[in-house]
Amino acid sequence: MSIAPTSAQQLACKFDDRSATIGVIGLGYVGLPLALQFESSGLNVMGFDIDPAKIDKLRAGQSYINYLPHDDIATAVARRLQVTADFGRLSEPDALIICVPTPLDHHREPDLSYVLNTTREIARGLRPGQLVSLESTTYPGTTDEELRPLLEQGGLKVGQDVFLVFSPERQDPGNTRFGPHNIPKIVGGCTPACLELGRKLYGIAVSQVVPVSSTKVAELAKLLENIHRAVNIGLVNELKMVADRMGIDIFEVIDAAATKPFGFVPYYPGPGLGGHCIPIDPFYLTWKAREYGVHTRFIELAGEINSGMPHWVLHKIAEALNNAGKAIRGARVLIIGIAYKKDVDDLRESPALELLDLLEDRGAVVDYHDPHIPFIPPIRRGRYDHHSVPLTANGIASYDLVLVATNHRAVDYALLKAHAKVIVDTRGQYRDKRPNVVSA
């Protein structure tokens, strides 16, 4: 008498012979590259997103992320990538990977609504033999305490009928050296069976899988990575202000310290923190830590310093204009780079947007130039109606001040330096200081 294979055994076989279908929920900066990676590894992939415009573009073989070529999208869609806004099809894939936002609410507390609503949608059609993986950054305990009860409410048991893991995204948008295929993938499971299936899933598409003992370890590991960066950036931003008062070039200081072959990692200052991770993720831990009676003073201090950097830059702008006999009110200012980091088209939490707000609130007339963002997307049009202006000699000379907020490589910095009246440089782009260049 033969014994029917268990749900875990059946799913493991599908991963082993690559017959599994992978579902990726949320086709943004994390989900879309991941979907492409699984598809290029030979698996059938279903991509889910609530934005019909994204679905239409992908079906037409068009990319909406500047570092993902149209040809890669068209090839994947022609082969094994389906995309849909129909969440009634969530029961079809064998594995479902959640890549949706985890922002902060207006009280600066974790907003898990996207994750929990997605999990509820999954639970409606959940069937035995499915694996669910959460990649969205969150506080320790989310996977076990929030997702697991939702998935089990229909009677299926995690670790026996269905399987649940946490595997944090580690994307670095625009990084040409590291991508989904060669960034090691941390995986923590709710049970040993969950962990083993998570290892098999990601082992298909990623060169190295790093198993850990629990979902909480995986969740905290991701927060540690981002808190490490936030704290060190906060440190160097504070040192930048000290160095400025002392008349010292902080970028020269960092370059000198970085010659030490051990014990030092260079971090660079800027006008503030941007992107979805570094400005937000540390506060997921500070919020959860309060439940245990712990106050994360070190993390909160770094956050305070980093969030105050746009105001520091504003002060340097006012000072530079004042030295030129101008006030902020009525001044014409050109912001170079509106994205949160160089060479990407990502506006999330961009300090350049905050600087645009601060300047306009004080009466400045502000334009921007960004080779990757021709206009501020409709989702932000409630406040902004700006389009990227071209860089010409006469155009640059017409502004009272040029602010380098994001140092895209495609910008002609020599043209700027030759024709700008005053440049406030927040990124250390101009190392050979000129009379019209002010570091900020």
Please state the domain extents for the chain.
7-219, 239-439
- Tokens representing 97? 């990977």
The pLDDT assigned to 1 comes to 40
The pLDDT assigned to 378 comes to 66
Each residue's pLDDT, cut to its tens digit, for the chain (440 residues) gives 456 679 999 999 999 999 999 999 999 999 999 999 999 999 999 999 999 999 999 999 999 998 899 999 999 999 999 999 999 999 999 999 999 999 988 888 899 999 999 999 999 999 999 999 999 999 999 999 999 999 999 999 999 999 999 999 998 887 888 988 999 999 999 999 999 999 999 999 999 999 999 999 999 999 999 999 999 999 999 999 999 999 999 999 999 999 999 999 999 999 998 887 888 888 899 999 999 999 999 999 999 999 999 999 999 999 999 999 999 999 999 999 999 999 999 998 999 999 999 999 999 999 999 999 999 876 544 567 899 999 999 999 999 999 999 999 999 999 999 999 999 999 999 987 677 899 88
99 is catalytic: no
At 82 the three-state DSSP class reads: strand
Beta pairing, strands 185-189 & 163-166: antiparallel
Check the CA dihedral 312-315-319-324 and report its sign. positive
Beta-carbon count within 10 A of 214 CB: 18
Looking up tokens 């309060």, which residue turns up?
A: 290
Round to whole Å and give the CA distance between 78 and 86. 20
Which amino acid is present at 106? H
Domains 7-219 and 239-439 in one fold: yes
pLDDT tens per residue, range 17-29: 999 999 999 999 9
Using alpha carbons only, what angle is made at residue 232 by residues 309 and 135, rounded to the nearest 5 degrees?
A: 95
The pLDDT assigned to 381 comes to 44
Element of type H or E holding 120: helix 113-125
| Homologous superfamily of the 239-439 domain (CATH) | NAD(P)-binding Rossmann-like Domain (3.40.50.720)
Beta bridge partners of 133: 97, 165
The pLDDT assigned to 311 comes to 97
The pLDDT assigned to 414 comes to 94
pLDDT tens per residue, range 339-359: 999 999 999 899 999 999 999
Q: CA dihedral in degrees (229, 235, 236, 239; nearest 10)?
A: 180
- CATH entry, 7-219, from 3.30.70.370, 3.90.45.10, 1.20.272.10, 3.40.50.720: 3.40.50.720
> Half-sphere exposure of 213 toward its Cβ, with a 13 Å CA cutoff?
0
| Burial label, 360 (beta-carbon count in 10 A; 0-12, 13-18, 19+) | middle
- Among candidate residues 288, 364, 300, the one with its CA nearest the CA of residue 333: 364
- Among candidate residues 264, 277, 185, the one with its CA nearest the CA of residue 227: 277
